[in-house]
Each structure stands twice: as structure tokens, then as C-alpha cells.
Structure 1
Amino acid sequence: MDDCTWRRHANPWSGITRFGTVLPLLVLAIWSRVWLGWWALIPIGLAAIWIWLNPRLFPEPERLDHWMSRAVLGERIFLEHRADIAAHHVTAGKLLSLLSIPGAILMIWGLVVLWWEAALFGTALAILPKAWFCDRMVWLHDGWVRQGQPIPGIGTT
């Protein structure tokens, strides 16, 4: 994503709707093969379009102090300045990303064998560490700003 897309994604509506809808919509689209057969490629394609469109759909926010805005900007810092951030943030970010893997595996397995409980529970297990990751990115963002560091593509906030 370019600077403009990141700024638009910092809109709380973008972050919240992306966080809350992307994985469930993708799971539902893949599950729809049960009802739609090959026509399921249409909802899968629509889910893929939503994944791409979401951070571009909303306008840039007027303020960047919302929790979700700070989470999005913290993630950008995490991705672009990993060498410059405290080691405990890097370790926590990697660990929380790894904690999503068991849930993702269970979700995928549930989708493959058509066990809806496993797909649903796996989706929840994959999302929960992402919520914690977002909270950690708020912590990273706030520390970064307190140090007077500019937010990539934004400047000072």
C-alpha cells in the first residue's frame, strides 16, 4: 500500500471493518462451494475485491487518535521500521502472528473437510491473536510518537 492508502486505512471505519469482516467473509465465501459449486468463485472473488478495496474505500480521517487509527499506524511502523523499534515489540509481534497459525490451520482444515465447527472455531482462534496484535501496535505507536518519531507517510501526529 502507498502512503495515501495507509492514510485512508487509518480511518477507524476502514480498520474496524477490515478486522471484523475480512476473514469471516473469506471463510463464508469458501464455504459457499457447498451450495454453489464452482459458482463459489464469485463470492471468493468478491471477498478478494473487498480485501483490496477496504483500505482504499474510506476517506482519510480528520484525527488519528482513535484506537484503531493508532493500531493501523503502529502496524505500519512495525512493518517499515522494525530495526528501529524496541525488541520487545518485535518479539511480541512475531509471537502474536505465530499464535494465529493454529487457528488458521484448524479453520483451513474445517473448510477442507466441511466441518463448520472447526472452521468457525479456527476463525475465532486466528482472529483473537490479531486483536492482541492490534493492541500491541497501539502501544508501539504511542511510544513512537512520545519519542518524537515521525509516522511513515504521515509525519508527526
Structure 2
Amino acid sequence: MTLERKVAKAFNLTHENWMKHSNPWSVWTRYSVLPLIVFAFWSRIWIGWWCLIPGLLSLLWMFFNPVFFNPPRSTKNWASKSVMGERVFLNRDNIPIPEIHDKPIHKILNLVSSSGMALSIWATVEYSIWGACFGIALAYLGKSWYLDRMVWLYEDMKNKNEEYKSWNY
């Protein structure tokens, strides 16, 4: 089982939930998660332990965002294709992907994104606004580039499998 499949399982991404997550509103509002978490826990300087309430709400938003929205009217947009590409990528152990897409760049981009998240967490603990801003920017640069690679993968794979074809509407 791929790491991506384990993550999808943790978020309960069934076919129906993947379709909900492919709604552009889900993809774009998911970009709010890291700044909300950073701000929520940073607020401990103003509201003390009460910061756990917005912190918990931020974490719940991270967990429920992928299933909060309805399936999109169309998947012919960048955001939806990025989610469909993630589905294709996590299924690569069942349906092989082209060699051009089976490169370590995905791991590198996830490492960049993870490094940005780690920096953001450190900056939240240390109250470093520049560290938080740089960490969030780094996390989203890596994630956005990764998602763009997923769009490319989906475009290459969408007509090579009946299941993948059915996601394109």
C-alpha cells in the first residue's frame, strides 16, 4: 500500500469523497488550513489556553474539508484535475503510470512542502512572523507545484482507463 493510499484512507477518501474533494471550492479553501492553524496557535499570546478552541476548529477543518463540499458540476478545471491526478498517482501500484511521471520529483516537492510546514510550526512556537510567512509560502509552493504535476499526470492518463475516463465530466 502506497503512502498516499494510507493518507487517503485516513481521510476516508472513498470514490464519493474523492469526488467531493475534487470540487474546486474544496481544493482552494484547503489552502486556508495552514495559515488558520498557525494563527490559531499563535493566538495563545492573546487568549492563552483558549487558543485550543480555534486550533481544534482549524484541525477539524483540515480533516473535514475534503468531504464538506458537493461533487463539482464539472471536473474540467485545474483544481479538479489536480485531485484526479492524486487519485491516479496513489493508484500507480495497480495501474502503472508513464515513466515520465514516475520520478523522484514528487518526493522532492512533498519534502519542500513538509519543510515549509515544519518551519511554520517552529515559527508558531517561536513567534517568528517571517518564519511563519516563509514556511507557509514554502509549503504552498511545494504543494502547488506537486498539484500541477498531478494535473499533468491526469491529463496523460484520463483516456487510458475506463474508471479514469468516468471522472472527466
TM-score of the alignment, normalized to the shorter chain, above 0.5:
yes
* Bigger helix share: 1
List alignment gaps of at least 5 residues for structure 2: 1-12
Corresponding residue of 1:114? 127
> Which of 36, 39, 42 is the aligned partner of 1:31?
42
What are the Cα deviations for residues 78-136 of structure 1, in whole angstroms up to 9, with x where unaligned?
Answer: 12225611343232211211122332232222112111111111111111011101110
Whole-angstrom CA distance in 2 between matches of 1:82 and 1:14: 26
Aligned in 2, Cα 1:70/1:7: closer, same or farther, shift over 3 Å? same
Please tell me whether residue 55 in structure 1 is matched to residue 62 in structure 2.
Answer: no
Aligned residues: 154
List alignment gaps of at least 5 residues for structure 1: none
> Which of 129, 136, 139 is the aligned partner of 2:149?
136
Q: Over aligned residue pairs, what C-alpha RMSD do you find?
A: 1.8
How far did residue 17 of structure 1 move?
0.9
TM-score, with structure 1 as normaliser: 0.89
Aligned in 2, Cα 1:74/1:112: closer, same or farther, shift over 3 Å? same
C-alpha contact 1:149 1:156 (8 A) present in aligned 2: no
What code does the residue aligned with 1:5 have? N
Aligned in 2, Cα 1:86/1:125: closer, same or farther, shift over 3 Å? same
Corresponding residue of 2:6? none
Identity %: 42
How far did residue 65 of structure 1 move?
0.6
What SS class does the counterpart of residue 166 from structure 2 fall into?
coil
